[in-house]
Structure 1
Amino acid sequence: MRNIPLADVDHLDLAVLPIATDYPPGHLLDWHEHRRAQFLHGATGVMVVDTAEGSWTVPPDRAVLIPPATRHRVRMLDVSTRSLYVEPGAVPWWPATCMVVDVPALLRELLLTSAEFGPDYRVAGREGAVAALLLYEIAALAPLPFHVPVPAAADLAALCRAYLDAPDAGVGNAEWAARVAMSERAFTRRFRAETGDSPAGWRSRARLLAAVPLLRTSSVSEVAGRLGYASPAAFTAAFTRAFGAPPSRFTASRTGGGPRP
């Protein structure tokens, strides 16, 4: 199934609905939710998934697990997706919050195969076996750390959302505290209680997440300068500590991607 709306097939008596979709560059899937759980794989490009609880950046050839009935939006940056929409009853083990995961070679091939299924695929045949194996493979995946939480409080959430849209190394705790009419100490204590991290630590992680889509079209040196790091080496060290791989692994030359014509 390719480039068809979920609503057209959601009624089918199939536990797993594979749908492949090609999106124009910069496309925004605005706030929405699905009755089914979703395994959203970016075969190309970078995705940024937002929910009320946080923001998940999905690097090239990774995926995100989205729980059923979770309101979310997705920014598609040169993305072609391979999605699975799964009946909640078929995956009681599905995570309660979004989770970014790697996509090993076997799972990637199974996703490519399932994208060719029609809406009338046979559960009792080969196609049904592929669908069942997909769920076994997904259940074995571990989360990757491409995520920042967003506070539940509206005033703190607004600060965080604005920062995610435009990360600025020059912003400090005093400025954030002033925006919500609090002392810096009280603000820091409240922010840590809501997110489990200090405001400075949260902003540092948000800047590193912002680097992932930038690396699709810019060099490591350019991204380091844009995000306010003193040097490419400092940026590389911070990125590697946070994500377990250097930023050079996410450049267009390494991912086989780049901007579309």
Structure 2
Amino acid sequence: MARHRRAVEIEAVARPVVAVGNEYPAGHEHPAHSHRRSQLLFAERGTMLVRTAHGAWMVPPSQGVWIPGGTVHGISMLGQVATRSVYLEPDARPGLATECRVVGIPPLLRELLIAAVDVPAEYDPDGRDGRVMSLLMDEILAAPVLPLSLPLPRGDRLLRRCRRFLERPSMHDTIEAWSRTLALSRRSFTRRFREETGLSFAEWQRRACLLAALPRLLNGERVTAIALDLGYAGPTAFSTMFRRTLGVAPSAYGR
């Protein structure tokens, strides 16, 4: 059983994958750190925000985030959180992602992650525990990617502008206003923004507003108040965006 253990305690275990379970109080902060193994961090209960120098990833309840080995990252616990993590050796499976991403956790993967926490760290690779862990790795490779990442640009001026926006995200902001602020033509701005973030400005703006909305929904705030604060015409427009992106209504994330 590997509960309430730190990653550093299992880094040297001679197995391709090791699982750990932990629980954290609301507001707990993991300061910036890294580990040699790659990690799938699963939010069995609660919501997390993972940050790196290159972006942010919101992890809602029952979803997960993939963190490649060596990535320096910090984690904020938004409410009480129960995590189930698996740490994989770099060569555990071919095709493992090399960038952070939020992933959906289908029912089979969820049950495997929960069961893996009770598998001994030095399990028998040829026994039942070994087969469970092997299937777990297969399911990690098949996990769907969710649009809950917010990449940040590399250029200093654009990065500063994005960070100011994140302090008060709004759908009222326009490409024209940002272009003027940065002394760029609309065409130059849109090209540079996509080159540096991998997203169009409109998609990045929607994701920023979505990530700002999730913690407020989890705190029980009204959908109408959140929608208007974020610059939507009303709750219907906000709910349509939310459902299109996450597949559920905003009310699914309320208390």
| Alignment TM class, shorter chain as reference | 0.7 to 0.9
Residue 163 of structure 2: SS of its match in structure 1?
A: helix
Measure, in 2, the Cα distance between the counterparts of 1:193 and 1:135.
Answer: 33
Q: Is residue 226 of structure 2 the alignment partner of residue 223 of structure 1?
A: yes
Cα displacement string for residues 38-70 of structure 1 (whole angstroms, at most 9, x for unaligned residues) = 011001111222233332211110111111112
- The residue type equivalent to 1:64 in the other structure is V
Looking at structure 2, the residues matched to 75 and 27 of structure 1 have their Cα atoms a distance apart, in angstroms, of: 6
Over 3 Å counting, the alpha-carbon distance change for 1:156 and 1:171 in structure 2 is same
After the TM superposition, which of the residue ranges 132-141 and 219-228 deviates more from structure 2? 219-228
Q: How does 1:1-261 map to 2 (within 5 A)?
A: 1-78=2-79, 79-169=81-171, 171-173=173-175, 176-177=178-179, 180=182, 182=184, 186-217=188-219, 218-252=221-255
Deviates more, 1:193-202 or 1:138-147: 193-202
Single out whichever of 193-202 and 228-237 deviates more from structure 2: 193-202
8 Å CA contact 1:41, 1:64 repeated in 2: yes
Give the Å deviation of 1:200. 4.4
CA distance in 1, matches of 2:201, 2:121: 48
Alpha-carbon shift at residue 174 of structure 1 (Å): 5.7
The RMSD of aligned alpha carbons is 2.3
Counterparts in 2 of 1:189 and 1:105: CA distance versus 1, 3 Å: closer
Q: Which runs of 5+ in 1 are unaligned?
A: 253-261
AA aligned to 1:121 is Y
DSSP 3-state at the match of 1:156: helix
* 45-54 vs 126-135, which moves further: 45-54
| Residue 91 to residue 46, structure 1, CA distance change in 2 (3 Å) | same
Task: Give yes or no for contact 2:8–2:35 (8 Å, CA) kept in 1.
Answer: no
Q: Relative to 1, partners in 2 of residues 1:118 and 1:164: Cα closer, same or farther, differing over 3 Å?
A: farther
User: Could you list the runs of 5+ residues in structure 2 that have no partner in the other structure?
Assistant: none
The one-character-per-residue Cα deviations of 1:189-212 (angstroms, maximum 9, x if unpaired) are 422332344434422321022222
CA distance in 1, matches of 2:103, 2:200: 25
Deviation of the 1:173 alpha carbon: 4.4
